Amino acid sequence: MDYTHKDQITKLLRFESSLTEKGKTTSLGDYVTRMGTEQKEIYYLIGPNRAAIESGPYLEGFKARNLEVLFCYESVDEYVMNNVREFDGKKLTAADHADVKLADLPKPEGALSEDDTKTLTTWLKETLGERVAEVKASDRLVDSPALALNADKFMSPHLRRMMKAMNKDGSESPLRVNLEINPRSAVMKRLFETHTAAPEKAKLVAEQILDNALISAGLLDDANAMVARLYKLLESV
């Protein structure tokens, strides 16, 4: 908040990143020196710890493209990043933001066709209804079946959790997310087969996929419905 010395203070910030060893930190200045010529933004992810960030789906697309991501563990980090906004002419961008665009990767073999993917995303949107604002194929997933991105540009998952913990206005607003799916995933390929062969079971699977994605995003507020659904799915095993 010291705007007079903001630039000097920003240079002192240190973070672990996807390219540093555990416990080793890097500065924003050093990050910029490692950026490729095509990279225009400094990416970061907020999470409770390194293990949680690295095991989540949001890092996959960046690792596949060799894009460095800063790891932010402190509750104040989101406030810091939103106030710093840019460094050395590079915008600071949350890697789990819905508007992030990544360069295309070579299309792998074994994925659902474009037509089948469109059929599945349309069905998922109809099935999940108001719980999702949009469903589309993801350009950032490599291994995970799906991920959820907050459709609210003005309230990140981390900020929403903080407001909820403090009982602030806005924390109880209806949650709608963008769901991105991985057409290469065995789960999605199986769901495509099941959505016509066993539609009732497929509906349960679709809802479970969404809840799994919400858990990874830290956006699932009540797990009771998910637990009941899991028992129904287990009955059919």
Per-residue pLDDT tens digits for 55-84: 999 999 999 999 999 999 998 898 899 899
**pTM score of the predicted model:** 0.84
Instruction: Give the ranges where the chain is alpha helix by DSSP (H).
Output: 6-10, 28-34, 50-55, 60-64, 77-84, 114-128, 157-165, 186-197, 199-217, 224-235
User: pLDDT tens, 147-173?
Assistant: 999 766 555 556 666 666 666 555 555
* Domain topology for 3-94: Rossmann fold (3.40.50)
Structural domain 114-235, CATH architecture: Up-down Bundle (1.20)
Which of 15, 182, 163 minimizes the C-alpha distance to 84? 15
Domain residue ranges in the chain: 3-94, 114-235
Q: CA-CA distance, 216 to 101, in Å (whole number)?
A: 20
Residue carrying the six token digits 């800063």:
70
Ranges of residues in the chain with a pLDDT under 70 are 151-174
Q: CA-CA distance, 122 to 135, in Å (whole number)?
A: 7
